[in-house]
Amino acid sequence: MRRRLVLTLLLGAAALPALPALAQSEPPQIIWSGEDLVFFARPAKSAPPPPPAKIEHVIQRFPSGQIQFDGYQLGKVKVGVWREFDRSGNPISETPYVRGILHGEVIRYHTTCGSKADNPIPATRTHYHFTLQDGPHVEYACSGEKTVEGQHLDGQRNGLWRRYGRGKDGAVVAKQTSYTCKKCDVVPAPTESAEAAAEAIRTFLKKSCTPAPVQSMAAAPNIFDCDAQSLIEWKSRLRCRDVSGQRVCGLRTR
């Protein structure tokens, strides 16, 4: 959520260029987490462009008929938030995907303390950046009280982590540990104004990127296919990884 707020402040509601209308059926309403702009390296020009895929609602069931997984697919890849349930119908987790890649806030629910389908109790909330833990991480007791709080950076604990216990007047810090991420993607300090950064983003999108054939979901991040060389040249502004054989990048927003 922090990344979304930062990028919204940076670009403004009307800062992005108008995008051409895409031929597609009305997409389902899905809530997303994660960054607002996601870039994929565009396939080589010699490769024929894939046909536009259709978003399909997918429900997988236990032999009893109870729902086990509920989500959406774009062609054969997962998109949006996928929900997993146990055999009693209680939620186990909610996992967000961008073109089949884990990206956003993953919520896991307690399954051993009377969690009900209409009032699930979160056990953990963990942010992922293209399959790696990256961002806030919080753990909760069955009572709903916070027990652990910290940050991940490039898959490693980073900064101050706190473990909470029960005090006379509620939760208190029982232990805190400071971590230094030794192999992290260092984010340089900003050297330009927010207006200049927004203009640079608009220019990059216009010059090097095209909207993905299907914008995955309503309220989803804007997903673009971009020239691979341009992504390399713009690496000072992007955080990129190679995932499942494809180059995927997001804006540096922290």
Question: What's the pLDDT band for 202 if we cut at 50, 70, 90?
Answer: confident
Mean pLDDT of 2-12: 35
Angle between helices 194-208 and 2-11 (to 10 degrees): 90
Of the two residues 123 and 29, the one the predictor is more confident about is 123
Retrieve residue 210's tokens.
């095209």
Mean pLDDT of 194-207: 85
Domain boundaries, the chain: 2-17+24-251
Question: What's the pLDDT band for 112 if we cut at 50, 70, 90?
Answer: confident
Mean pLDDT of 146-152: 95
Per-chain mean pLDDT for the chain: 78
Q: What is the DSSP string of the chain?
A: -HHHHHHHHHH-TT-SPPPPP---PPPPB----S-SEEEEEPPPTTSPPPPPPPEEEEEEE-TTS-EEEEEEEETTEEEEEEEEE-TTS-EEEEEEEETTEE-EEEEEE-SSS--BTTB--EEEEEEEETTEEEEEEEEE-TTS-EEEEEEEETTEEEEEEEEEEEETTEEEEEEEEEE--TT--PPPPP-S-HHHHHHHHHHHHHHHEEE-SS--SBTPPEEEEE-HHHHHHTTTTEEEEEETTEEEEEE---
Question: What's the pLDDT band for 43 if we cut at 50, 70, 90?
Answer: confident
> In this prediction, what percent of the chain has a pLDDT beyond 70?
73
Question: What's the pLDDT band for 54 if we cut at 50, 70, 90?
Answer: confident
Q: What pLDDT shows up at residue 162?
A: 95
Question: What's the pLDDT band for 187 if we cut at 50, 70, 90?
Answer: low
Mean pLDDT of 129-148: 93
Cβ–Cβ < 8 Å for 96, 32: yes
Mean pLDDT of 92-102: 92
Q: Is the pLDDT of residue 172 over 90?
A: no
Mean pLDDT of 186-210: 79
Mean pLDDT of 124-142: 94
CB-CB neighbours of 81 under 10 Å: 22
Q: What pLDDT shows up at residue 9?
A: 29
Give the list of residues 6+ apart from residue 94 with CB closer than 8 angstroms, or none. Answer: 81, 82, 83, 84, 106, 107
The segment with the largest mean pLDDT, out of 18-22, 55-59, 117-121, 164-168, is 55-59
